[in-house]
Amino acid sequence: MTRDEDSVWASPVIVEDSGQPIVLVSGTKKHRAYSLFDGRELWSLADGTDVKVPTPIPADGLFLFGGGSTLMKRTFYAVRAGARGAIEPGGANLAWSNDASPHVSTPLAYRGLLYVVSDNGILTTYDVATGRRLSRCRFPPGAYWASPLASDGRVYVTSEEGHVLVVPAGGGCELEATSAVGEAVVATPAMAPSQLIIRAQSHLFAFAHSK
């Protein structure tokens, strides 16, 4: 299959739509969905920016996409499952759009909410169904490249300075816990059973609940 696109940082995602597997892909020209069976393009959405870093996100019957750079307007889009053809602003296949999109980290969809972390550590929470902003929190100064994670009703945010910040899910801003690994962290941590795995500059760390 030939694609009229250049390379981007966003990873493709395989999801189920209307009982069929599809591939969500962000490109320099458009966000697109393809049939996994035959590579046929199912729909496309042009957003006017060629920088795509966040990975597409499936959430509650919607497919969420963002792109843009620090010098470009970054619009976030929610495409309805089952969409077909060219998606236009105001069309029935576009559930909503807003300015939620971050530059680097991929937002987190968790329990009906969307958590977006900016490069400079602002956590903004939105309603997935409507795109309405619910809350905004300011974390300690620094760079934030890793994507947020969630587990057991908590949201985990990691800074490049190696700080792991934990806030309650639901839009709260009060820090429940903080940890520091003492090294730079730019990769997104991984969740394992009862553990948070962090790859730092020189070490691999595993955090677990104390018994």
Position 153 in a domain: no
Task: Give 48's pLDDT tier (boundaries 50, 70, 90).
Answer: confident
Position 198 in a domain: no
Position 44 in a domain: yes
Residue 46 domain boundaries: 1-101
pTM (predicted TM-score)? 0.93
Per-residue confidence (pLDDT) for residue 33, from 0 to 100: 97
Domain count along the chain = 1
Q: For 74-81, what is the mean pLDDT?
A: 93
Position 82 in a domain: yes
Per-residue confidence (pLDDT) for residue 211, from 0 to 100: 60
Nearest to 106, CA basis, from 98, 96, 97, 115: 115
Instruction: List, for residues 114-147, the tens digit of each pLDDT value.
Output: 999 999 999 999 999 999 999 999 999 999 999 9
Position 154 in a domain: no
Instruction: List, for residues 188-204, the tens digit of each pLDDT value.
Output: 999 998 899 999 999 99
